[in-house]
Amino acid sequence: MPLNTLEEIAEYIVSDGKGILAADESNPTCGKRFDSIGVESTETNRRDYREMLFRSRGMKDNIGGVILFDETLRQSAQDGTPLVELIKTQGALPGIKVDKGLIPLDSSPEETITQGLNGLDERCKEYFSLGAKFTKWRAVIKISDSIPSDECIKANMQALARYAKIVQENNMVPMVEPEVLMDGNHSIERCYEVSCKTLQTLFDCLHKEGVDIKGTILKPNMVTSGSLAENQASIQDVAEMTVKCLKENVPSDLPGITFLSGGQSDINATAHLDAMNKIGGFSWKLSFSYGRALQQPALKAWLGKKENITDAQAALSHRALMNKFAAKGEWSSDLEG
């Protein structure tokens, strides 16, 4: 299909159960992942690892978009093919992380604000010329007894809205990521409360900035218990609370919601997504934009060795297919083999 408008691009990325492979780890984050398997984080090793992922057979039909880091957008495969072209041949669209990371918020130093608006227009023009079709910006909202502050939510959502407007003016689809962190011992009810307030503020800000919601993708957290909470909510409770939060706060004309996995295990991330789609009753596509929950099995299988590439690609392909089933509400644990 021709992808001429932002709406068509956004709809394509989440069509037919497809989701997004998040491969936009910064070099330090990629370094930590490589440390876990004893591989040095060099530019060549990072390229080889991501090329291996992008050539996996299971990219086709299961992955609609790939978020890249600046370095990766500019790299070519070992045979000289630009990685952007490799992604396109798999039927996926290349995207790019454009924020510049987190700094402490002046009014509340334990909280953060995402930076990167300075020079964003110029960077977007270059990224578009390099083949990017969509972009990503992550805002981070922490939960404790005393936070998040209203200032933190408002400042981050205003920045997300300004970012989204600049991106659309440069003919790319903005992915807005307001991540309410799992870190902490808070209840699922507290996560629900903060997530609702965050999303309500976000869409107010997007509306005020004149952002075209039909050409936007939301990448939110799921509504879960804090990772340190003694009582962990069940798969079904997470699904029900998340769907309720989204239905109350997300406009019906948004084309797709692609969840972040946020530290969940790969199986839990799939199970939660599937349970939500089995509930149904919403207008948007509910899909995935997973990093670790898609990559971890492949990373463990690869270990930096050429002889392991086939096994690593099979591991990624399996997770991509499982998440496609989940995005259609057709997954069950029996399929995991």
DSSP 198-230: HHHHHHHHHHHHT--GGG-EE-PPP----TT-S
Rounded to the nearest 5°, which phi and psi values hold at 219? -120, 85
Degrees (nearest 5) of the Cα angle 141, 13, 116?
40
Active-site residue, from 11, 25, 111, 177: 177
Give the chain's largest Cα–Cα span: 53
- Amino acid in position 142: K
What number of other Cβ atoms are within 10 A of residue 253's Cβ? Answer: 12
What number of other Cβ atoms are within 10 A of residue 99's Cβ? Answer: 20
Active-site residue, from 133, 136, 165, 219: 219
Active site residue 219: yes
Q: Which helix (H) or strand (E) holds 111?
A: strand 108-114
Contact 308, 302 (CB under 8 A): yes
Tokens 């330090």 locate to 28
CA–CA separation, 174 and 190 (whole Å): 28
**Which residues are designated catalytic?**
177, 219
